[in-house]
Amino acid sequence: MVSGIAGDIIEIVNASLAHAVVAVDIPSGIDCDTGMALGTPVFASDTVTFGLPKLGLYMGAGTEAAGEVHVEQLIYPDILLEQSAIHAQLTEPPEFPERMRTMHKATYGKVAIIAGSPDYTGAPVFAAEAALTTGTGTIHLIVPQSIADVVRVKVDGPIVQAFAGDVLTVEALPHILELLEDTTAALIGPGLGRDPRTLEAVLLLATAFKGTLILDGDALFACVGHLDVLWKRDAPTILTPHSGEFARLVGLTPEDVEKGGTLSSAQTLAAQASAVVHLKGHRSLTVLPDGSLYINTTGNPGMAKPGMGDALAGIILSLVARGVAPDLATAQGAFIHGLAGDAAAEVMGEESMGTPELIMALAATIKELNAG
């Protein structure tokens, strides 16, 4: 805890009218490993840190206190960097190789999205549109019969496949598994709803599908109390919870979260499930099974809008399908998702931008990345 004269100095700095308050290494009053506030921290406009990004600058109270983070290089002996307990790096853009002249629409994989329910007809559309815009040519958008016509009106590119019923149930699984037979990667969960029959079906599907699987939204809800389903999967698994979903998934209390327990729980889950765990938030963290992580620094508060996570899941799906490894696909997907969000904010402003604008901006974002 900062107190006494140090606490008094922090109060004076925070009350000052200075244009810029620059913290060196980490704002005083922030735990560098967890981002927890140790009393009142300095609220900096910028933090300059050295060598490697400190996790406390991107988590908990640390994100607000650090302001804009600049990671500057000092010359460290390589051996020190290799031995560092911090195995974190900032995300970087994906490389989109030039599309082969001879390619066809399945060259970059065939993907499936199992999503939607009567209350949520937007989520499947956002995920599919984002995957299309990221370059995928063949998308099977698998939704309940009850919403198929609505979804067909909203999308043109994806092939909309309907399974019988109002919501996903076990009865639909044989049909869905048939559709998944030649699928490279699948996304399950956006807007599926939480009918108990749906939750049961999600668990069976996650066990039966042998390809790379991204679990998002209500598919994560289905795994609450059933994490063993994830241990049993042989194929790569990517989990994309926001912090509320993650706390529920692993049973963290608000006090655990307050004490900075989220990251270590994510590392434990990633290791136990051999999965990539992407913790969504202001600064998202992609945690790998070996405990190392990527910190994403793109994106803005205008992205705190419905459907942004669905679009992210679609982007990651598309990168996985074209052969990018699950960990990189997730970290790089988050990078371009945030970059597209920043581009959308330029045009529409943070207040008014929405998920359709992010998906529209994704096209120009990818084009710009390709141009180098």
Ligand X SMILES: NC(=O)C1=CN([C@@H]2O[C@H](COP(=O)(O)OP(=O)(O)OC[C@H]3O[C@@H](n4cnc5c(N)ncnc54)[C@H](OP(=O)(O)O)[C@@H]3O)[C@@H](O)[C@H]2O)[C@@H](O)CC1
Q: Are β-strands 159-163 and 138-144 bridged in parallel, bridged antiparallel, or unpaired?
A: parallel
- The sheet with strand 68-72 has its strands ordered as 22-24, 46-50, 68-72
Our finding on whether 245 is near ligand X (CB under 6 A) is: yes
Q: Taking CB under 6 A as the rule, which mask of x and - marks residues 67-106 in contact with ligand X?
A: ----------------------------------------
Any binding-site annotation on 310?
yes
Q: Specify the stretch interacting with ligand X by CB under 6 A; choose among 17-25, 227-235, 269-277, 307-315.
A: 307-315
User: Contact between 62 and ligand ADP (CB under 6 A)?
Assistant: no
Helix (H) or strand (E) holding 94: none
Residue 298 CA to residue 149 CA, distance in Å, equals 36
Tally Cβ neighbours within 10 Å of residue 46. Answer: 14
Total residues in contact with ligand ADP, by rule CB under 6 A: 17
Q: In this complex, which beta carbon is closest to ligand X, that of residue 50 or of residue 248?
A: 248
Residue 301 lies near ligand ADP (rule: CB under 6 A): yes
- The answer to the question of residue 341 lying near ligand X (CB under 6 A) is no
Residues 342-361 within binding reach of ligand ADP (CB under 6 A)? none
Q: Which residue lies nearer to ligand X by CB, 192 or 317?
A: 192
Distance CA 321, CA 298 (A): 23
Q: Is 278 annotated as a binding residue?
A: no
Residue 194 structure tokens: 């939480």
Q: Which of residues 96-155 bind ligand ADP (CB under 6 A)?
A: none
The answer to whether 41 contacts ligand X (rule: CB under 6 A) is: no
Rounded-to-integer distance, Cα 44 and Cα 126, Å: 36
Both tokens of 308, joined, read 């942004």
Q: Pick between residue 310 and residue 357 the one whose CB is nearest to ligand ADP.
A: 310
What are the C-alpha distances in Å from 137 to residues 134, 311, 328, 365? 9, 16, 21, 19
218 binds, among ligand X, ligand ADP, none (CB under 5 to 8 A by kind): ligand X
Q: How far is the CB of 84 from ligand ADP (least distance, A)?
A: 26
The whole-angstrom separation of Cα 335 and Cα 329 is 10
Radius of gyration in angstroms for the set of CA atoms belonging to the chain, rounded to a whole number? 21
Q: Does position 357 bind ligand X by CB under 6 A?
A: no
Pair of tokens at residue 226: 């059933």
Judged by CB under 6 A, does residue 303 bind ligand ADP?
A: yes
Extended strands (E) in the chain: 22-24, 46-50, 68-72, 88-90, 110-114, 138-144, 159-163, 185-188, 212-215, 237-239, 275-279, 285-287, 293-295
225 conformational bin, left if phi > 0, alpha if psi -120 to 50, beta if neither: left
Tokens 């598994």 — which residue? 177
243 binds ligand X (CB under 6 A): yes
Distance from first CA to last CA of the chain, Å, rounded? Answer: 46
Comparison of 60 and 307: residue with beta carbon closer to ligand ADP: 307
Residue from 138, 284, 332, 365 touching ligand ADP (CB under 6 A): that is 284
Q: How far is the CB of 143 from ligand X (least distance, A)?
A: 11
Could you say whether residue 167 binds ligand ADP (CB under 6 A)?
no
Asked whether the beta carbons of 297 and 318 are under 8 A apart, the reply is: no
Region of 34-42, 163-171, 181-189, 302-310 interacting with ligand ADP (CB under 6 A):
302-310
Q: Does 120 bind ligand X (CB under 6 A)?
A: yes
Ligand-binding annotation for 242, yes or no, is yes
Binding stretches for ligand X (CB under 6 A): 120-123, 190-192, 217-218, 242-245, 281, 306-307, 309-310
Binding stretches for ligand ADP (CB under 6 A): 242, 280-282, 284, 299-301, 303-304, 306-310, 312, 337
